[in-house]
Every structure is written in C-alpha cells, then in structure tokens.
Structure 1
C-alpha cells in the first residue's frame, strides 16, 4: 500500500472535511474573543448627595487571564470622603476557567489542522486502515466532551468576572469606604463584554459541531460498517411442494 503524501482536494466536498474546516474556524474565533480581551470599568465614589456632592473616580482594569485578585483597584493609601482605604485588589479569580477554555480551543485548532492535512494528503491511508478512523473518532468525541466542560466552566467564570467588576462586587471590595452612610459607590462606565459573551456561545456551538462531526467520523470506522454488514440477510421461506 502506498503511504506517501498525495494531494487530493476532492475531500473538501465531503462533510468529513467541511466540518473540520468549520471547527478550525470556530476554534480560532473562540480563543480570540476570550484570550485577547482587556477592559476597564470606571468606578465613581460619591460623597454625600450624588447630585451636589464631590466625586472621586477609580478604574477597575482587567484582562485575560482574569486574575482579578492581582488587579489593583486602589494602588496606595487614598482618602475618599474623609475615609482612608489602603491598597485594594479586585475580588475573584477566573483564570483557571478562562485558560481551560482557551487551551481547549487551541488544541482543537491544532487537531483540526492535522486532520485536514491527513484528509487532503493521506486519505488513501486513512480509508484503507482501521486505526485512522477509530483514532479520529475517539479524539473527536473526547474534544466534544471537553467543549461541554470548558464552556460551562468559562460561563461560570464569566459570571464571577461580571459580579466582581459590577456595583455589588466593587462595593464589597471597597467595603471600608462604600459601607459608610455618606458614601455611594457605583460603576458609571462599564467595559463592553460582548466578545466574552460571544466566546461562551461559541464554546457551546463547538460542542454541537464536534458532536456532529463525531458521528460523521464514526461512519468511517469498522464499528459502523460491521453494524450493517454483519446483519443476516433475510431469506425467503420455502413453501412445501404439494403432494
């Protein structure tokens, strides 16, 4: 059997190859929307009446991988409305969920490229062996499960991020100041998190795409072929001849 590289573009017309292209593209967008994010919220500290009182502003900056407990909200000793706050960090840490999500996306991106190389250059080997389709199916199914796990984890991490940088989270972080009767703390400018929301949606979309692709790959394995070739062929019952 010839095992050398043979470029053949015809698999690009087949669902097996088309779905790998889609998976490659969605994986790129998924880790791009999450891994390249940076933003900041503007926090206003109102002394007395919000209309006529004085206002102090702070910036809550955060970026991937969202280690909020390392992001400074108050860099040094500062006085707000006659109340002093020391160096203060944001509360929470979404780095493990975000890095898990991006890591799965990168793995899927790389595997899709390898699979496309095999489909376009070594399809004659892929079709003639049992090992290739079975390995492809097992890896594809495992990555579909990983998309479910990492997308759910990142959705939870994003909730933590939104809380920590929102009104309630900031008030809890600056409790020494914001809990005073004459002080009001409020986020007046929010960073756009549309790309992070999109990344979660893309994560679940990847789940369905990879699960569907697992079925396409399964049909290339001997398990699927044996399911049908191993079925007994119905025979016509013989009618006894008349005596």
Structure 2
C-alpha cells in the first residue's frame, strides 16, 4: 500500500522539477573606451540543456559591433533519460494501483501478476539508480558550464584586462537539486518494494510451505507417537482385530513366568483362616504332560 500511494507522487516530483526548469544568467560588460559602457547581457537556458544552442550577443569594445557567442556542452541525454524513467514509473505505478484496488483476484490468479510485478519492480529500481546517478553528474557539469566565470571567458572583450566584466545575476539551482533528491528517493522506494512484491510471488510461498522442524518439534512429535502407540495397546480385546491378537500372544515360557508371579503375590496376602489340612493324591506328570501316577498329597493352608 505504501508503494501504491507514494510511487506516483515521487515520480511526478522527480520529472516535474527537472523537466520544467528555466535558468537565467546576466553579466555586465564595461569597455575601457567608454563607447559601450554598462552593457548588460542576458543568457537563458533550460531543459533539455542543449547549451550549444543557447547563444547571446556580446559587445566588442574595440569595434562598434556585437559578436554572437554560444555556450558549450550538450547535456540532453542524461536529462531526457531521467525524465523518461520518471514518466514511465509514474504510468506503471498508476496501472499497478488500479490493478491492486479493482482487480485483486486477477492479479493473484496463476501467480502471473506478482511475478510480472516483481520483475518490473527490479527493472525500475535499477533504472532509477542509473538515471539518478547520471543526472547528478550531469547537473554538476551544467553548473560548471554556466558558471559566470566560465561564461565571461567566452566573451572576447572580457579577456582584455582593460575591460571590466561582472556577473549581476546567477541561475538558481534549488529546483534541479530537488530533482536529484527525488530521484534517489525513488531508488530507495522502488528497491524497498522488491521485498514486499517478492512476498506475493509463488517463490516465497513455496519456501514457506514446508518449514523445517526444530529439535524440540521433533522430540514432541516422537513423544506423541509413543503415547499413541501405548494407548493403542490398552484397548479392549473386543475392539482389536484377530490379527493383532495373534501378534501379541505370549510364548509358553513367558506365560509360566506370569503364573509364578501371580502365585507369589497371592501367597503374600494375609489370610485369617485357621490352618487346614487336605488329604489328596499327588499327581505326577511325565515330560509329555501325561499323568504317570497318583499318590497321597497333603495341602496345608498357613496363616
């Protein structure tokens, strides 16, 4: 939303402060022979800063006539490139604003809108950086070319020591300096928007779809699995499948060990009945668990 609001505004400020600039320089020539005294010369220039086309008339003190002098330098490529980037950035930001507000569903459909917006944002960020740097260097050259000292050296009469030449009015550069500032503000704005546009793309969503599990997450997952497995063992027999019953059947040795533990527990319990004796016949088993012989057997019930 920040990009939608501020991008068109700063783009307008950038190309408006540069494109409509108009500079004025005034110098005065005083000839030694007093034939042309206090002669004021007005020099005008502006966008696109083709200074070689800006000319003015200067008096020749030794002769009763004027000469035509042209300024030096053509600085139009950098200025026009800066203006072009600003205009296209303004138009694209307006289009993006309309899409964000009225066509949000189509923008997110098939992830094409965020991908195109991401690529275009990177391109405009790079173009703003290049154009702002070039325009800052070009503005410095324009200031040098229109410096009153440099302009006075172009006048033939001012190169003679007996004549007196002074600058009475200099150009104002605050507007062009502001355009450079707005250019770098757009660089920061568009570069910072790259991250927010990237979050709308499928690349960012794919990276967040399967997050890596931390060590604590793995331990908690294993603990939940163990609790689930233990709770499954405590289910009643009627709810378990026959195949599970067969898999958990005890072996014969384990079953005998279980019976011995149960007998020891029963013997440890306290009984308040009197000792009784039972007379019976002992039963002897052979190795094949068959009854071999029987004899008298005594059972004593102790307290």
Correspondence 1:29 to 2:10: no
Residue 56 of structure 1 contacts residue 80 of structure 1 at CA under 8 Å; is this kept in 2?
Answer: no
Please give the per-residue CA displacement for 1:45-75, whole angstroms capped at 9, x wherever unaligned.
Answer: 2335xxxx9322111101111110001122x
* Separation of aligned partners in 2, 1:54 and 1:87: 18
Where does 1:69-108 land on structure 2 (aligned, <5 Å)? 69-74=52-57, 78-82=58-62, 86-108=67-89
Please give the per-residue CA displacement for 1:7-55, whole angstroms capped at 9, x wherever unaligned.
Answer: xxxxxxxxxx33122010111111111111112111122335xxxx932
Change (3 A) 1:169 1:20: farther
Unaligned runs of 5+ in 1: 1-16
- Counterpart secondary structure, 2:38: strand
* Separation of aligned partners in 2, 1:129 and 1:168: 62
Determine which structure has more spread, i.e. the larger CA radius of gyration: 2
Structure possessing the higher relative contact order (Cα contacts under 8 Å, 6 or more residues apart):
1
Unaligned runs of 5+ in 2: 227-303
Correspondence 1:171 to 2:170: no
Aligned residues: 216
* Separation of aligned partners in 1, 2:87 and 2:81: 10
Please give the per-residue CA displacement for 1:118-143, whole angstroms capped at 9, x wherever unaligned.
Answer: 10111112123221101101111111
Moved more, 99-108 or 156-165: 156-165
Q: CA RMSD in A?
A: 2.1
Correspondence 1:215 to 2:195: yes
Where does 1:13-28 land on structure 2 (aligned, <5 Å)? 17-28=1-12
Where does 1:1-243 land on structure 2 (aligned, <5 Å)? 17-48=1-32, 54-74=37-57, 78-82=58-62, 86-174=67-155, 176-234=156-214, 235-237=217-219
* Separation of aligned partners in 2, 1:18 and 1:137: 16
Deviation at 1:191, TM superposition (A): 2.5
- Counterpart secondary structure, 2:218: coil
Deviation at 1:232, TM superposition (A): 2.6
Moved more, 78-87 or 140-149: 78-87
Residue 166 of structure 1 contacts residue 187 of structure 1 at CA under 8 Å; is this kept in 2?
Answer: no
Give the alignment's TM-score, normalised by structure 2: 0.66
